[in-house]
Amino acid sequence: MAKKQVIDAVEARLGAIWDGLPVFGPNSEGEPPSDGTPFLMVQYPISNARRVTVNARIYREEGGFRIVLNEARGFGLEKTTQRCEALANLFSDQSFDGVVCQVPSSPFIDDDNEDGNYFQTSIVVPYTFNFTGA
């Protein structure tokens, strides 16, 4: 799981609402809609930390966060691809609050994108975050 500072920075950058869509982080209050209303979910599936220097307590976390876009099924890809590209641009090669983002992945599209009322796509943003030990 990502450091709390990383989670706070990413979710602050997205805000509670991004492009008119509600944003749900891990274990957040409220329930994502089930009626086809678009929304975002943010996940932090992987992170690894290591010591950067021998003589100082400086560490680097490397990981990736995943932004899952849920759109109503049956309306084509135009809005979905526009939103995925805008999300990628929000984080691509950006630094904020100590989080240094690399280039996000492109959304993967196949038959598994359909989930109930939703067509789900996601991007993964690799990042690094340096921190010191206590």
pLDDT for 127: 99
Mean pLDDT, the chain, integer:
93
CATH T-level fold of 4-132: STM4215-like (3.30.2000)
What are the tens digits of pLDDT across the range 30-71?
888 888 899 999 999 999 999 999 899 999 999 999 999 999
Helices (H), the chain: 4-14, 78-91
pTM of the predicted model, to two decimals? Answer: 0.92
* Distance from C-alpha of 27 to C-alpha of 49, rounded to nearest angstrom: 23
Sequence ranges of the domains in the chain: 4-132
pLDDT for 134: 59
